[in-house]
Amino acid sequence: MELVRQGEALKRTEKMVDDMEEDLKTSQRHINSIKSVWGGILNYFKAKPEAKAAPEQLAAYQSSNKLQNALSESKEHETKYQQSHPNLRKLDTSGFGASAISSEYDEFTANQNGYPRNQQLRVVHQQLDDNLDEMSSGLSRLKNLGLGLQTEIDEQDSSLDNLLRKVDRMDGKITATNQQLKSLK
């Protein structure tokens, strides 16, 4: 799914920005050492930055729980849906249409469960009810998928805002570092 792929890309990008910030801190230490003797002495007595460990594997991206639940529920219902969908299986539709309707008006009266007494009409009404149940189930699946997608989009939107703040902060630091380097000439 494209949205999950984009979430993974956001997570990798945020990790790269964090790594760039660490590299910029190291660069700033070197610039301070070059600028003056006192900067070098100060850096000497400052706590040394931790040595970088081997590049850690980025944890697998986890989409929102709502989206994961909606996707798994949708996959469960997919086979059932394909088995019952009229276009995906051969159905006997000969009972539908004008041939199924009886001209005897007394047979149109309904019994206790709401279905007509006429057997052919009862079958048609039952089939319509079954079709409406399938439509309701499909719409429920689409609603859950939509809600899951909305949750994932909201989470990625907040990740983007966080990433933009980090990038803006990095841009300011890079600009300041470039100015320091130009003044060293």
pLDDT on residue 108 = 45
Q: Are 109 and 117 in contact (CB under 8 A)?
A: yes
pLDDT on residue 51 = 57
Q: Return the DSSP state at 89.
A: S
**Six-digit token pair at 64?**
């929102």
Average pLDDT value for residue range 120-149: 90
pLDDT on residue 107 = 46
Rounded to the nearest 5 percent, the helix, strand and coil shares of the chain are 75, 0, 25
0.85 exceeded by the pTM? Answer: no
pLDDT digit string (tens) for 107-123?
444 555 566 678 888 88
pLDDT on residue 104 = 43
pLDDT on residue 34 = 78
**Six-digit token pair at 81?**
């849906």
pLDDT on residue 155 = 92
pLDDT above 70: residue 97: no
Give 79's pLDDT tier (boundaries 50, 70, 90): low
> To the nearest whole number, what is the mean pLDDT of the chain?
78
Give the range among 30-44, 90-104, 147-161 with minimum mean pLDDT. 90-104
pLDDT above 60: residue 55: no
User: How many angstroms separate the CA atoms of 49 and 42, rounded?
Assistant: 14
Helix axes 65-84 and 119-183, enclosed angle (nearest 10): 150
- Tell me, what amino acid is at 10? L
pLDDT on residue 48 = 63
Give 3's pLDDT tier (boundaries 50, 70, 90): confident
pLDDT digit string (tens) for 165-182?
999 999 999 999 899 888
